[in-house]
């Protein structure tokens, strides 16, 4: 028996977006395909779909295919964008009586801007025109949609009233949906979902619905919500009105979330797995492609305000074309969640027949001196972006990328020119350059914190910390008083956690000092003596301890430019160090004990200069 008869077909998940001009029969067609009426009572009375409608049907293997009905009127274009975001197949409905209309073409352009690659054209109301007219309309529509989309679509005449070709249409849609779903394989990415509806059910809590465009959701998973900046946990998941243990992209889902209120999550919010590479940004660099049915183009003025839509979110941004490139900068009025490869529809407000596709290539800050270098590299990215495209560009431009960005379905592969450094993959040549830069900074007598070094060598603080670990392991640097010093030596980050906790506490208190009679150190008090012995802490009396670095800074401020045999009064010292008398006398006594000062009647004599 053939293997294909023994092996059940692989399940898949897909969504079809239904679009087209108003009154071309979309809602009636959905009812004929699925048996579900998507229009609401007030829309039925109006005779016009105003918001997204949802339905579904199953193939012969039990796979459920979602259907999203989008409004056909120009006034509801934003809702249309929300409906075709991350669909598998666009079902474009064109009336055989009227042919392509303005919104037919606008919907085609928006779908193309959103990256839709599978289009089926349905000639509705085909029973109302003669066969000769139907054939002419079919040829004209096919040519028009091909020109607008760059795709050769399947086309089929149907009648929702007589049932003509409805089953054939459903079969065609299943074939297209399955092919697209197998190609996308989005279930291997972190969960990503724009919210199109949020509401509260008494006794249950906050419910959100949307299209799960990537990854999977299951009970107990945590989801980050932006722009609310909150994280919630999933109580339960439904797909197509059925309770499920796990929902997989691409599918319509309803999620009950604990920890998010109705005010925090709303239409346009982005829900995503905490490990998804999403960040809040006020600007980004996009690769643009203009889809235009006229000769008009977007103005090149640097302050041109355009409408931007992605998923169910839409807002305004300043559109700034970058010279001699197909790149543009989008500057948003407020922070929005963005990620590499994100598709955006950019619609200039002066011309509704023009749609610009924006594809996010860069989300991070760009220093002025690196602009041209970064722009040139972004120009060289491949036409079709993949997760590897982002990794390649990050290695090329900044020398590293977080391991978390690596696709979860494949092992992290490190080439001979790369190495893994903690939670990062770094370019070997870049790493050697950065190590040398750090050592140049830590010239004899120069000390810096991790944050200061990261800023100086222009890299991320977390990856800088990993580089410092390497240099420390090689005996080239050590950490003391929260500053890195060149050369070998005991390093405070090697202290036991209990000792480090005391050190952090003393350091945070600064000149207030750690007073043991006011602080309950419990069993950890034994580490005080060890910290004093290693000179991480300085005991200015039996109960008051200063961080060693704080103590030396105070000593330096007192001695300053003074030379041996110079005198200084106690009042002058108080004005310099700004310590209360309770701390001042023990501090001065400690300076005398350490050989910095000697008391002579009412003044102190400097015994050695700071430089010595």
Give the model's pLDDT for residue 292. Answer: 58
CB 69 within 8 A of CB 36: no
Across the range 316-340, mean pLDDT stands at 92
Give the model's pLDDT for residue 378. Answer: 92
Distance CA 260, CA 224 (A): 10
Q: Assign 515 to helix, strand or coil.
A: strand
Question: Which comes out higher in pLDDT, residue 522 or 294?
Answer: 522
Q: Is the pLDDT of residue 597 over 90?
A: yes
Distance CA 417, CA 430 (A): 10
Q: Is the pLDDT of residue 611 over 80?
A: no
pLDDT band at 408 (very low <50, low <70, confident <90, very high): low
- What lies within 8 Å, CB to CB, of 550 at 6+ separation is 506, 507, 510, 511
- CATH dotted code for 495-606: 1.10.10.10
Give the model's pLDDT for residue 186. Answer: 46
Digit-coded pLDDT (tens) for 281-309:
999 999 998 765 554 455 555 668 888 88
Give the model's pLDDT for residue 36. Answer: 83
Q: Which residue has the tokens 């950890």?
A: 524
- The percentage of residues in the chain with a pLDDT greater than 90, rounded to a whole number, is 41
Give the model's pLDDT for residue 518. Answer: 85
Q: Is the pLDDT of residue 4 over 70?
A: no
CB 265 within 8 A of CB 195: yes
Give the model's pLDDT for residue 3. Answer: 45
Distance CA 119, CA 265 (A): 32
pLDDT band at 18 (very low <50, low <70, confident <90, very high): confident
Digit-coded pLDDT (tens) for 425-445:
999 999 999 999 999 999 888
Q: Hey, do 14-185 and 495-606 end up sharing a CATH topology, with the first three levels equal?
A: no
Give the model's pLDDT for residue 185. Answer: 53
Digit-coded pLDDT (tens) for 530-562:
898 888 999 998 889 999 999 999 999 999 989
CB 306 within 8 A of CB 317: yes
Q: Which of 65-74, 245-254, 341-350 has the lowest mean pLDDT?
A: 65-74
Q: Is the pLDDT of residue 48 over 90?
A: no
Digit-coded pLDDT (tens) for 557-566:
999 989 999 9
The topology under which CATH files domain 279-385 is: Elongation Factor Tu (Ef-tu); domain 3 (2.40.30)
Across the range 142-171, mean pLDDT stands at 89
Q: Of 265, 427, 255, which Cα lies nearest the Cα of 337?
A: 265
Distance CA 72, CA 104 (A): 8
Give the model's pLDDT for residue 295. Answer: 46
CB 492 within 8 A of CB 530: no
Q: Which of 241-245, 337-341, 412-416, 585-589 has the lowest mean pLDDT?
A: 412-416
Q: How many CB atoms lie within 10 A of CB 8?
A: 9
Domain boundaries of the chain, sorted by first residue: 14-185, 192-272, 279-385, 495-606
- What lies within 8 Å, CB to CB, of 331 at 6+ separation is 282, 283, 317, 318, 320
The rounded mean pLDDT for the chain is: 85
Q: Of 57, 65, 76, which Cα lies nearest the Cα of 19?
A: 76
Digit-coded pLDDT (tens) for 164-220:
999 999 999 999 888 887 665 544 688 999 998 899 988 889 999 998 988 899 999
Q: How many CB atoms lie within 10 A of CB 28?
A: 17
- CATH dotted code for 14-185: 3.40.50.300
- What lies within 8 Å, CB to CB, of 506 at 6+ separation is 513, 514, 537, 545, 546, 547, 550
Residue 3: alpha-carbon gap to chain centroid: 43
Q: Assign 428 to helix, strand or coil.
A: helix
Q: Is the pLDDT of residue 322 over 60?
A: yes
Q: How many CB atoms lie within 10 A of CB 466?
A: 17
Q: Is the pLDDT of residue 360 over 90?
A: yes
CB 106 within 8 A of CB 144: no
Q: Which residues make beta-bridge pairs with 480? A: 483
Q: Is the pLDDT of residue 503 over 50?
A: yes
Q: Is the pLDDT of residue 501 over 60?
A: yes
Which DSSP string do the residues of 546-601 spell out, in sequence order?
A: EEHHHHHHHHHHHHTT--TT-EEEHHHHHHHH---HHHHHHHHHHHHHTTSEEEET
Q: Which residues make beta-bridge pairs with 314? A: 309
Give the model's pLDDT for residue 38. Answer: 63
Evaluate whether the domain defined by 192-272 bears CATH number 2.40.30.10.
yes
Q: How many CB atoms lie within 10 A of CB 470?
A: 16
Digit-coded pLDDT (tens) for 97-123:
988 888 888 888 888 877 888 899 999
Q: Which residue has the tokens 């059940």?
A: 8
Q: How many CB atoms lie within 10 A of CB 157?
A: 23
Distance CA 449, CA 393 (A): 29
Q: Which of 266-280, 353-367, 407-421 has the lowest mean pLDDT?
A: 407-421
Digit-coded pLDDT (tens) for 449-483:
999 999 999 899 999 999 999 999 999 999 988 89
Across the range 64-87, mean pLDDT stands at 69
Distance CA 267, CA 254 (A): 13
Q: Of 455, 451, 491, 456, which Cα lies nearest the Cα of 471?
A: 491
């Amino acid at each position: 028996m053939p293997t294909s008869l023994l092996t059940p077909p692989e399940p898949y998940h897909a969504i079809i977006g239904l679009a087209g001009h108003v009154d071309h029969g979309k809602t009636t067609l959905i009812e004929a395909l699925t048996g579900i009426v998507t229009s609401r009572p007030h829309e039925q009375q109006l005779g016009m779909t105003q918001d997204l409608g949802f339905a579904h049907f199953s193939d012969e293997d039990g796979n459920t295919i979602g259907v999203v009905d989008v409004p056909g009127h120009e006034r509801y274009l934003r809702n249309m964008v929300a409906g075709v975001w991350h669909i598998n197949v666009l079902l474009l409905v064109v009336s055989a009586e009227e042919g392509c209309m303005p919104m037919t073409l606008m919907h085609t352009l928006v779908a193309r801007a959103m990256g839709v690659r599978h289009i089926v054209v349905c000639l509705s109301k085909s029973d109302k025109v003669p066969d000769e007219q139907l054939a002419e309309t079919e040829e004209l529509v096919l040519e028009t949609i091909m020109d607008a989309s760059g795709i050769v679509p399947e086309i089929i005449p149907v009648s929702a009233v007589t049932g003509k070709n409805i089953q054939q249409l459903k079969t065609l849609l299943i074939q297209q949906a399955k092919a697209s779903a197998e190609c996308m394989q989005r279930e291997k990415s972190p969960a990503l979902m724009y919210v199109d509806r949020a509401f509260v059910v008494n006794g249950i809590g906050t419910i959100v619905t949307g299209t799960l465009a990537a990854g999977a959701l299951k009970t107990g998973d945590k989801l980050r919500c932006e722009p609310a900046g909150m994280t919630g946990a999933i109580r339960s998941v439904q797909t197509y009105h059925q309770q499920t243990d796990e929902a997989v992209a691409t599918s319509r889902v309803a999620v009950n979330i604990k920890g998010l209120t109705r005010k925090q999550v709303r239409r346009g919010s982005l829900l995503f797995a905490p490990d998804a590479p999403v960040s809040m940004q006020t600007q980004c660099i996009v690769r643009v492609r203009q889809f235009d049915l006229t000769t008009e183009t977007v103005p090149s003025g640097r302050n041109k305000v355009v409408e931007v839509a992605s998923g169910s979110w839409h807002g305004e941004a300043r559109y700034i074309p970058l010279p001699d490139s197909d790149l543009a900068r989008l500057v948003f009025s407020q922070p929005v969640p963005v990620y590499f490869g994100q598709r955006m529809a950019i619609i200039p407000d002066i011309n509704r027949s023009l749609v610009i596709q924006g594809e996010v290539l860069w989300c991070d800050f760009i220093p002025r001196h690196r602009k041209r270098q970064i722009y040139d590299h972004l120009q060289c990215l491949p036409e079709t972006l993949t997760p590897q495209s982002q990794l390649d560009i990050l290695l090329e431009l900044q020398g590293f990328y977080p391991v978390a960005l690596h696709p979860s379905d494949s092992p992290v592969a490190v080439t001979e020119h790369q190495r893994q450094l903690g939670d990062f993959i770094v370019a070997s040549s870049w790493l050697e350059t950065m190590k040398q830069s750090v050592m140049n900074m830590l010239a004899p007598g120069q000390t810096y914190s991790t944050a200061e070094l990261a800023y100086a060598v222009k890299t991320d603080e977390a990856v800088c910390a990993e580089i410092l670990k390497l240099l420390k392991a090689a005996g080239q640097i050590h950490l003391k008083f929260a500053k890195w010093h060149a050369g070998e030596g005991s390093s405070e980050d090697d202290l036991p956690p209990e000792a480090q906790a005391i050190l952090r506490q003393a350091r945070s208190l600064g000149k207030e000092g750690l007073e043991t009679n006011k602080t309950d150190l419990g069993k950890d008090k034994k580490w005080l003596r060890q910290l004093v012995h290693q000179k991480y802490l300085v005991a200015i009396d039996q109960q008051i301890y200063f961080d060693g670095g704080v103590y030396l800074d105070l000593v330096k401020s007192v001695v300053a430019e003074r030379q041996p045999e110079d005198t200084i009064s106690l009042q002058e010292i108080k004005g310099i160090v700004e310590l209360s008398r309770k701390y001042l006398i023990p501090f001065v006594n400690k300076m005398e004990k350490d050989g910095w000062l000697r008391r002579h009647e009412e003044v102190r004599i400097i015994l050695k200069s700071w430089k010595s």
